[in-house]
């Protein structure tokens, strides 16, 4: 039985005051039947972990370095993120692939480093609009999974079509179903039974109004949520929709 996961991605948003949203989420959803994770800026990790200590809410990061330590000014290792209270780390988000030129090979190296340190990587893949219009979405996803995933199947995959992130444009249910079935087949081909527990998340303008229908799509095990994870009032109904599945 695969665990369902509602994951938030705060991106580069939030200072200490925003942590009140985490406690508000715990109040609004005191006992969900799915896993819930919020991936925060590194500066908030430790305070967030303290704020939710002893509760179900997991704390995650948004990137890590592939090396365990060393001369990498400004970077943060997986062990440091764990030390700050993170259990998960988003890797290969399209914003990092675009802003920092991250390649599949780098994402794979980071995922291996995160696993070696004891964290669960959330590896993001997704096609651009021009790739979809050229009917290349399935091939792009296959290439990204092949190049970005580590050999050890203890990870989460997030399918986030680049054109749907932060745009208000949501992939159709048929598009989501096609890509998720494709990803599940590819994971089974590569990892066999070990790949079965891997949760497949959809990401791209998920909100309270569309969450339930997306969660009902076969092979969708949850969501990676950007904008609608910043406020408990927006994220709690998404958690509730997944919990109700």
115: contact with ligand PEP by CB under 6 A = no
Residue 160 annotated among the catalytic residues of the structure: yes
Residue 91 near ligand PEP by CB under 6 A = no
Question: Which of 160, 171, 198, 214 forms a contact with ligand PEP (CB under 6 A)?
Answer: 160
Q: Give the Å distances, CA to CA, from 74 to 69, 70, 71, 77, 109.
A: 12, 11, 9, 10, 18
Interaction of residue 199 with ligand PEP, rule CB under 6 A: no
80, 113 in Cβ contact below 8 A? no
Q: Among residues 60, 195, 203, 237, which is the contact residue for ligand PEP, using CB under 6 A? A: 203
From first CA to last CA, the distance across the chain in angstroms is 13
Between 208-215 and 232-243, two packed helices, what is the crossing angle to 10 degrees?
20
Partners of 35 in beta bridges = 5
Torsions phi, psi of 143, nearest 5? -65, -45
- Taking CA atoms, 127 is separated from 44, 104, 137, 162, 163, in Å, by 30, 13, 6, 6, 8
Residue 165 makes contact with ligand PEP by CB under 6 A: yes
Q: How far is the CB of 143 from ligand PEP (least distance, A)?
A: 20
With contacts defined by CB under 6 A, name the span among 48-56, 110-118, 160-168, 189-197 that binds ligand PEP. 160-168
Give the whole-angstrom CA distance, residue 177 versus residue 219: 7
Catalytic residue among 102, 127, 160, 180: 160
Given 52, 86, 214, 225, the residue binding ligand PEP (CB under 6 A): 225
**Nearest distance in Å: CB 164, ligand PEP:** 6
Q: How far is the CB of 226 from ligand PEP (least distance, A)?
A: 2
Tell me the per-residue interface mask from 2 to 31 with ligand PEP, x by CB under 6 A, - otherwise: -------x-x--------------------
Cβ pair 206, 225 in contact under 8 A: yes
105 exposed, middle or buried (CB, 10 Å; 0-12, 13-18, 19+)? exposed
Q: How far is the CB of 3 from ligand PEP (least distance, A)?
A: 19
Span near ligand PEP by CB under 6 A; candidates 71-79, 111-119, 159-167, 237-245:
159-167
Residue that has been written with the tokens 């092949």 in this structure: 146
CB of 97 to ligand PEP, least distance (A): 12
Return the active site residues: 93, 160
Contact set with ligand PEP (CB under 6 A) = 9, 11, 160, 165-166, 203-206, 224-228
């Amino acid at each position: 039985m695969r665990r369902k996961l509602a994951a938030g991605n705060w991106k580069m948003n939030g200072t200490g005051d925003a942590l009140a949203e985490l406690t508000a989420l715990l109040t609004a959803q005191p006992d969900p039947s799915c896993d819930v994770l919020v991936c925060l800026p590194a500066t908030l990790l430790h305070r967030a972990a303290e704020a939710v200590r002893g509760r179900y809410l997991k704390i995650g990061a948004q990137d890590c370095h592939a090396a365990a330590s060393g001369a990498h000014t400004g970077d943060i290792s997986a062990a440091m993120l764990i030390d700050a209270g993170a259990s998960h780390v988003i890797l290969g988000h399209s914003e990092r692939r675009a802003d920092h030129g991250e390649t599949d090979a780098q994402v794979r190296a980071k995922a291996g480093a995160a696993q070696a340190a004891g964290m669960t990587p959330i590896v993001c893949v997704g096609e651009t609009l021009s790739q979809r219009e050229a009917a290349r979405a399935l091939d792009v996803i296959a290439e990204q999974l092949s190049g970005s995933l580590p050999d050890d199947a203890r990870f989460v995959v997030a399918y986030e079509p680049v054109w749907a992130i932060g745009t208000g444009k949501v992939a159709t249910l048929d598009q989501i179903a096609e890509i998720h079935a494709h990803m599940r087949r590819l994971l089974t081909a590569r990892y066999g039974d070990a790949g079965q527990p891997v949760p497949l998340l959809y990401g791209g303008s998920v909100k309270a109004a569309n969450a339930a229908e997306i969660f009902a799509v076969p092979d969708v095990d949850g969501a990676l949520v950007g904008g609608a994870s910043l406020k408990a009032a927006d994220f709690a109904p998404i958690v509730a929709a997944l919990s109700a599945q």
